[in-house]
Structure 1
Amino acid sequence: MPNPNSKLWLIVADAGRAALYAAESSRGPLTEIQDFIEPNSRLLDQDLVTDRPGRGFGSAGQGGHTLEPSTQPGDVEAERFAKRLAEILDQARAEQRFEMLGLVAPPAFLGLLRKRLPDETARQVVLEIDKDLTRHDADGVRARLPERLFKTPLR
């Protein structure tokens, strides 16, 4: 990945895609570093499940009923994608590729990503925005963020 040792890395994600940006100054532009796609998130739940739901039998009466999965297959794929992104960010933190981290995602996926970030990486988070900005380019994302992305240290 280019742009090692950036001031801020910003991940803009939803359950199926993400873009990683770098910012060198709190008011400056974003530079795209890398895109990530989770191909299974684009499939319908019925395409992710190959077997029919299981059958359950109650203690009273005859016959059975269909058991619905407790978690939807699309949710499982979103969890996997959040875990994959968190691992990438954690490795980059360990390699000191950024000083601060920003997270931009719709509320549900932001929660998944937050949950998956290891504590050390989560401590680097200085900006969280619960919006889906994945359809925008770097300039479009930057236009929808606060003027200052992070506080600059006093010198």
Structure 2
Amino acid sequence: MEKTWIVVADSTHARIFYACNRVQPLTPVTELSFPEARLRTQDIYSDRPGRVFESADESRSAMEPPDVRDQQQHAFAREICEKLDAGRNQQKFAALMLVAPPAFLGAMRHSMNSQLGKMVEKNVQKNLVMEEESRIREYLFN
């Protein structure tokens, strides 16, 4: 296990660690946050949904609002992957481990380019972003 970065993330916060081996403590590399994901629904949607007029008759119906939470989650996943890709380009790591809830893990995998995707050695579908480093190590190395 040489030059491994560990990403522990959820839809609002991400921590990236460096692990040089299985026994030494994880070294923090950086933290990213996405405070917009914490907004209340009424703060995201400013008004009522728009209306659609049917051309065949005079009926109207409301348009479905876009899923802003899902868009925010994918935007944050892209931000994390851009940071990881920059590290890959600078050869700061040779392998990746991802720890995230299932939905966000999927968003991250979807946002990765093929070179970065090939570097992923392990996925853990768990929300450990607020856990201590020792607890994260238990899930990764046991």
The TM-score normalised by the length of structure 1 is: 0.83
Q: Does 1:11 align with 2:20?
A: no
Aligned positions of 1:125-144 closer than 5 A:
125-144=120-139
Q: Does 1:48 align with 2:35?
A: no
Moved over 2 A (4+): 26-29, 49-52, 57-63, 143-147
Structure 1 unaligned regions, length at least 5: 1-5, 148-155
Structure 1 residue 61 displacement after superposition: 4.9
Give me the whole-angstrom Cα distance separating, in 2, the residues matched to 1:123 and 1:35.
23
Partner of 1:36: 32
Check the 8 A contact 1:92/1:98 in 2, yes or no: yes
Aligned positions of 1:100-115 closer than 5 A:
100-115=95-110
Q: How many pairs were matched up?
A: 141
Give me the whole-angstrom Cα distance separating, in 2, the residues matched to 1:44 and 1:61.
37
Give 3-state SS (helix, strand or coil) of 2:3's partner: strand
Give me the whole-angstrom Cα distance separating, in 2, the residues matched to 1:22 and 1:41.
26
Which structure has the highest helix share of the two? 2
Q: Percent identity?
A: 35
Give me the whole-angstrom Cα distance separating, in 1, the residues matched to 2:59 and 2:43.
28
Structure 1 residue 97 displacement after superposition: 0.5
